[in-house]
């Protein structure tokens, strides 16, 4: 069996400014984001994990380091865990992105299957890289527990894959807050979802949802 602990990074400055970050842009964790990561660390302090994978974006790496705390586990940075590349929308608010291409912004949030970016990645392209990583981890780490720290769209794609949901249903399911925890067991080709976007460790310090 392989066990995955799936985490979204803590709150960032652009999250509270409601700016779209995507995979080509980054902003640091806020004080609240660091607190969220520490609360998750406390929750996971008695959970053993053998390997840590992280998006190479600093907001994810910082969260990984906090959650890993004093454990002597190297962080494997993998580009396949980077957030979806939203091209020229990076750093814009939704309202600013809507002014540039209202049709595709609507598709992004309501019909990802037909979303065609002016620049950046389609959801199908992101799914290809994410699924390749999932399959690699499953084949490589039998009997291990893996912590994966990444981003909203990546987590949505992962959970949809485990639930066998198509891309046009990507935004269905539980809300994925910053520093939330999902847990999946994988055995003999079967996926057992134990937690999905759980935030019970965060109390009242959940944040707005932006990518």
- Which residue in the list 9, 121, 151, 177 is annotated as catalytic? 9
Task: Based on the residue annotation, tell me whether 177 is a catalytic residue of this protein.
Answer: no
If phi > 0 it is left, if psi is from -120 to 50 it is alpha, else beta; for residue 173 that is left
109 is in an annotated binding site: no
Q: Is 94 annotated as a binding residue?
A: yes
Question: Binding site annotation covers 146?
Answer: no
What are the distances in angstroms from CA 148 to CA 76, 95, 107, 120, 174?
9, 31, 28, 23, 18
CA pair distance 159, 191, nearest whole angstrom? 10
9 is in an annotated binding site: yes
Answer whether 91's CB lies under 8 Å from 14's CB.
yes
The rounded distance, in Å, linking the Cα atoms of 55 and 186 is 21
The verdict on whether residue 18 carries a ligand-binding annotation is no
Which one of 17, 83, 88, 185 is the catalytic residue?
Answer: 83
Q: Is 14 annotated as a binding residue?
A: yes
Q: Is 121 annotated as a binding residue?
A: no
Is residue 137 part of an annotated ligand binding site?
no
9 in catalytic set: yes
Structure tokens at 190: 């079967």
Catalytically annotated residues: 9, 83
> Annotated binding residues, as ranges?
8-15, 59, 94
> Annotated binding residues for substrate, as ranges?
8-15, 59, 94
């Amino acid at each position: 069996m392989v066990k995955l602990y799936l985490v979204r990074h803590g709150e960032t400055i652009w999250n509270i400014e409601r700016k779209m970050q995507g995979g080509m842009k980054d902003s640091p964790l806020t004080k609240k984001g660091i607190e969220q990561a520490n609360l998750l660390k406390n929750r996971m302090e008695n959970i053993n994990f053998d390997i840590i994978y992280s998006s190479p974006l600093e907001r994810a790496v910082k969260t990984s380091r906090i959650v890993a705390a004093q454990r002597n586990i190297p962080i494997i940075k993998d580009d396949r865990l980077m957030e979806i590349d939203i091209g020229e929308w990076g750093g814009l608010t939704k309202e600013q992105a809507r002014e540039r291409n209202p049709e595709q912004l609507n598709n992004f949030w309501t019909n990802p299957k037909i979303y065609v970016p002016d620049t950046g990645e389609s959801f199908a392209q992101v799914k290809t890289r994410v699924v390749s990583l999932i399959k690699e981890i499953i084949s490589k780490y039998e009997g291990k527990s893996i912590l994966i720290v990444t981003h909203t769209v990546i987590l949505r794609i992962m959970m949809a894959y485990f639930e066998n949901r198509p891309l046009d249903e990507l935004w269905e399911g539980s809300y994925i807050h910053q520093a939330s925890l999902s847990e999946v067991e994988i055995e003999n080709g079967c996926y057992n979802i134990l937690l999905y976007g759980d935030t019970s460790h965060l109390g009242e310090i959940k944040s707005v949802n932006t990518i």
